[in-house]
A = this chain, B = another copy of it.
Amino acid sequence: MSAVNAQVSASPAALLHHVRTGRARSRAELVAMTGASRNTISNRVDQLIAANLLAEGGRGWSTGGRPPTLLQFNSEAGCVLAVDLGVTSVDVAVTDLSARVLATAGHPIDIAEGPDAVLAEARRLGRRVLAEAGLDDADVRAVGVGVPGPVEFSTGRPSHPPIMPGWHDHPIPDAFSRWGAPVFVDNDVNVMALGELGVEGSDQDALVVKVGTGVGCGVVVGGRVYRGAQGSAGDIGHIHVVAAEGRSVLCRCGNTNCLEALAGGASLLRDALAAGLPVTSTRDVVDLAIRGDGPALELVREAGRTIGSVLAALVNFFNPHRIVITGGVAQAGLPLLSGIREAVYARAMPLAARTLDVSVSDAPELSGRVGAALMAIEGYLDDDSVREAITS
């Protein structure tokens, strides 16, 4: 209700954003949208064109008078490197400035080998994808990195990450200094949230739930990642679950019946082994379910129900427009989604659930890379960088 941000900004970066997200397609629309003068808009647009960030193309429809010249974001004005750091693999992509993947490569790692070895591998993959895409180091405008643990976003340093021994306080951005571009680092779940919401952004409130070895959640308020007081928002893996009577499962955090202990990938593997299924990894359980194996399907569906029981509470509290499920276990698709929907609709309030859209990611394996690219692009196209680009 505060009035501070009621005006739509007309800074050069904001004008670029409006065009890039399709909210405005001409100088006239930018004038209408921001309330800034025709002169101001025209000068700034000219500067953005001179900096190669905007291009003019074609003519729009006119409602009388000369039809307007259409503006386009020049998504080929550079590229970004997107690094998706997992516990057992690192994937790197190079994308254009609309997050379109130009080349990608991955390699198995063990995150516990520590930052020096793992980040050297990420750099090597970075050079490889640039070469594959026919791009130079000088084309790189920014680097985005998603990591499986808490990160102090302003410095790009992991903060006591539980499953990344040796990484606490490591200055990840320094590892990418060869590209002379800004480096943005965030928790993988926040990064995936960006990837799932896509380049066009939106004003929606959404939850992006990653079901991997653990369970985490990216929280999106009005189209932006919400972080909370200590940056730990979305840490839903240790919410206490209403379990079947008598069931008590110890979690690695020391409490019992945490969501992660009952429905994460690790618990899925444990339950599958206990049921005598021929599996050695969570991926095996997911593959069995995809192939239609009855007991595996039931395990995945039950994990979905447990996750859904927590999401039902969060739907009442947060009233999101949509929930997207991603991560390794999300590759199981429908059985997981069915279990989640069943529990959400059983316990969420009708008003909040009425138009709620619950879906599984189209490409769970890509959302980390696309999200890291988007984070890098947004960071690169912020006010300061754009101001610098158009005045240099």
Interface residues of A (CB under 8 A from B): 1-9, 11, 13-14, 16-18, 150, 160, 194, 201, 204-205, 217, 219, 221, 223-236, 238-242, 245-246, 253, 255, 257, 309-310, 312-314, 316-321, 347, 349, 351-352, 354-356, 375, 378-379, 381-383, 386
Contact = CB atoms under 8 A, between A and B. Distances in A.
Contact of A319 (B13, B231, B310, B347): B231
A280 B224 CA distance: 48
A152 to B, nearest CB: 12
Contact of A349 (B194, B231, B238, B379): B238
A150 to B, nearest CB: 7
Contacts of A16: 3
Contacts of A317: 217, 219, 233-236, 239, 314, 317-318
A354 B150 CA distance: 15
Contact of A2 (B235, B309, B378): B378
A372 B9 CA distance: 30
A233 B318 contact: yes
A55 B8 CA distance: 28
A320 to B, nearest CB: 6
A355 B229 contact: yes
B150 A316 contact: no
Contacts of A13: 3-4, 6
24 contacts: A1-B378, A1-B382, A3-B9, A3-B16, A3-B17, A3-B386, A4-B14, A4-B17, A6-B14, A6-B382, A7-B9, A7-B14, A9-B9, A205-B229, A217-B317, A221-B226, A231-B319, A232-B316, A232-B319, A232-B349, A233-B319, A239-B317, A242-B257, A317-B318
A386 B3 CA distance: 10
Contacts of A349: 232, 235, 238, 253
Given A229-B205, A232-B352, A381 B3 contact: yes
Contact of A3 (B150, B318, B321, B378): B378
Contacts of A234: 317, 319
A113 B204 CA distance: 38
Contact of A227 (B17, B319, B355, B381): B319
A9 B352 CA distance: 34
A306 to B, nearest CB: 12
Given A150-B351, A316-B239, A347-B240, A356 B309 contact: no
A191 to B, nearest CB: 11
Contact of A228 (B150, B235, B313, B319): B319
A223 B231 CA distance: 16
A8 B238 CA distance: 38
A36 to B, nearest CB: 12
Contacts of A223: 2
Nearest to A5: B5
Given A9-B6, A245-B245, A230 B354 contact: yes
Given A6-B14, A255-B347, 7 more contacts: A1-B378, A3-B14, A3-B381, A3-B383, A219-B317, A229-B352, A314-B317
Q: Which 8 A-B pairs have the closest CB atoms?
A: A228-B319, A3-B13, A233-B319, A1-B378, A229-B321, A239-B313, A3-B382, A6-B383
